[in-house]
């Protein structure tokens, strides 16, 4: 199968994160098995989703070391978007392939899968690995399950290429992503009897304003890294809900917030600033009005930042193969930070552009897939030296 054939196959599976990805994973598993390549699947707790890890051994049968080609199989929803074509059918137009996930990031996966027969035919002295994950789009949930399994069985790798859409340019750093959910519990009362209640929305608003103040401090005072498109740590509140009626003091308010930290900035320190404000300022005031008031903050999904070393072999190899020596750092997160945290040096490089990801009429240029194909061929050939 060609990259185009594989892309048609992969996009046809509606692997929106709310859905199962098992049909896609099992299709890939079976295709690899027909070529003599065994895969291990690592399931979610509900067993409705799975990661896939497959090793193409070196010519001498060695399965340790080598390079991982990593991609996530889930995609974001198409709900409410103005698609001009069927998002789950690849449509070719104006030198590009349109469809959900073509750029983010089934184009990379399709290219890697199409090249498996060629990879197997090469006299490689090192193995190549394929790592496909679930639920990256909702907080990099699947990859840690896979990495824990690989660690438990002693699987080693020398480097990883995460094929997120970068225009086939090498990205050496990205921010960490940390999600939080806050539940403010006050006391309901009729709005004409305000002093008898404890207004959860108002106290939530105070905390949201404090989060904004912390964000402004980072914007004004840093630390900065000008290689990033957004060169400072950011904090934003992105969802909120509360109240039951116009004439009722709200008993509860819930909101979700995130911060995206520069590499080197510890997420725990940021979380502690929010918690300190809750404990020192908000709760004492709330409990003057209602002694059982509380604020619960739970940690959601998170993914660590990436900061690749220029001295690592995978960085040097990727730069040599692409002839790209610019330093690029991005604000969005990927699974590369997780691989690095697991001791596998990683970079990000894949076909397509992040600017069209998650949008209606997502596409990948055919020329980008062709560039990716050349890159992966050279990467595999470099293992033959």
Q: What is the mean pLDDT of residues 345-359?
A: 97
Examine the pLDDT at 62 and tell me if it is beyond 90: yes
Residue among 246, 249, 247, 244 nearest 194 (CA): 249
Residue among 193, 183, 27, 45 nearest 106 (CA): 27
CA distance linking residue 143 with residue 171, whole number of Å: 19
Residue 226 pLDDT grade (very low, low, confident, very high; cuts 50, 70, 90): very high
Q: Quick one: pLDDT at residue 190?
A: 97
Residue 151 pLDDT grade (very low, low, confident, very high; cuts 50, 70, 90): very high
Summarised one tens digit per residue, pLDDT across range 188-225 is 999 999 999 999 999 999 999 999 999 999 999 999 99
Domain at 3-173+305-382, CATH class: alpha beta
Q: Quick one: pLDDT at residue 320?
A: 97
* Topology at the third CATH level for domain 176-303: Alpha-Beta Plaits (3.30.70)
Residue 118 pLDDT grade (very low, low, confident, very high; cuts 50, 70, 90): very high
Examine the pLDDT at 322 and tell me if it is beyond 90: yes
Distance of CA 280 to the CA centre of its chain: 34
Q: Quick one: pLDDT at residue 137?
A: 95
Residue 385 pLDDT grade (very low, low, confident, very high; cuts 50, 70, 90): confident
Summarised one tens digit per residue, pLDDT across range 170-193 is 999 999 999 999 999 999 999 999
Q: Quick one: pLDDT at residue 284?
A: 98
Q: What is the mean pLDDT of residues 38-49?
A: 96
Q: What is the mean pLDDT of residues 255-261?
A: 96
Question: Edge-to-edge, what's the strand order for the sheet holding 50-56?
Answer: 39-43, 50-56, 128-133, 67-72, 159-162, 346-348
Q: What is the mean pLDDT of residues 331-348?
A: 96
In the chain, the percentage of residues whose pLDDT exceeds 90 is: 97
- 3-173+305-382 and 176-303 in the same fold: no
In the chain, domain spans: 3-173+305-382, 176-303
Q: Which residues pair with 347 in a beta bridge?
A: 161
């Amino acid at each position: 199968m060609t990259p185009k054939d594989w892309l048609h196959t992969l996009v046809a599976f509606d692997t929106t994160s709310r859905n199962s990805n098992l049909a896609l994973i099992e299709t890939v598993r079976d295709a690899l098995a027909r070529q003599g390549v065994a895969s291990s699947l690592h399931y979610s707790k509900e067993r409705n989703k799975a990661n896939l890890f497959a090793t193409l051994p070196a010519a001498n049968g060695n399965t340790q070391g080598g390079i991982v080609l990593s991609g996530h199989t889930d995609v974001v929803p198409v709900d409410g978007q103005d698609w001009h074509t069927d998002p789950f059918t690849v449509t070719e137009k104006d030198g590009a392939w349109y469809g959900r996930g073509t750029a983010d990031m089934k184009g990379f996966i399709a290219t890697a899968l199409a090249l498996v027969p060629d990879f197997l035919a090469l006299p490689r002295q090192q193995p190549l690995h394929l790592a496909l994950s679930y639920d990256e789009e909702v907080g990099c949930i699947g990859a840690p399950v896979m990495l824990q399994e690989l660690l438990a069985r002693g699987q080693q790798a020398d480097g990883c290429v995460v094929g997120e859409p970068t225009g086939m340019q090498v990205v050496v750093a990205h921010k960490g992503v940390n999600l939080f959910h806050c539940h403010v519990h006050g006391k309901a009362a009729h709005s004409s009897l305000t002093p008898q209640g404890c207004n959860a929305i108002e106290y939530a608003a105070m905390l949201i304003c404090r989060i904004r103040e912390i964000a402004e401090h980072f914007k004004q005072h840093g630390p900065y890294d000008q290689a990033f498109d957004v060169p400072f740590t950011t904090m934003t509140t992105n969802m909120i809900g509360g109240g039951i009626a116009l004439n009722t003091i709200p008993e509860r308010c819930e909101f979700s917030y995130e911060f995206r930290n520069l590499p080197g900035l510890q997420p725990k320190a940021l979380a502690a600033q929010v918690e300190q404000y809750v404990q020192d300022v908000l709760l004492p005031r709330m409990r003057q009005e209602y002694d059982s008031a509380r604020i619960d903050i739970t940690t959601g999904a998170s993914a660590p930042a990436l900061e690749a070393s220029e001295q690592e072999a995978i960085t040097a190899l990727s730069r040599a193969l692409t002839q790209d020596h610019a330093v690029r750092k991005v604000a969005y997160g990927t699974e590369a930070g997780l691989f690095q945290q697991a001791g596998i040096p990683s970079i990000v490089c894949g076909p397509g552009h992040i600017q069209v990801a998650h949008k209606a009429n997502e596409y990948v240029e055919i020329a980008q897939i062709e560039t990716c194909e050349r890159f992966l061929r050279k990467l595999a050939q470099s293992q033959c030296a």
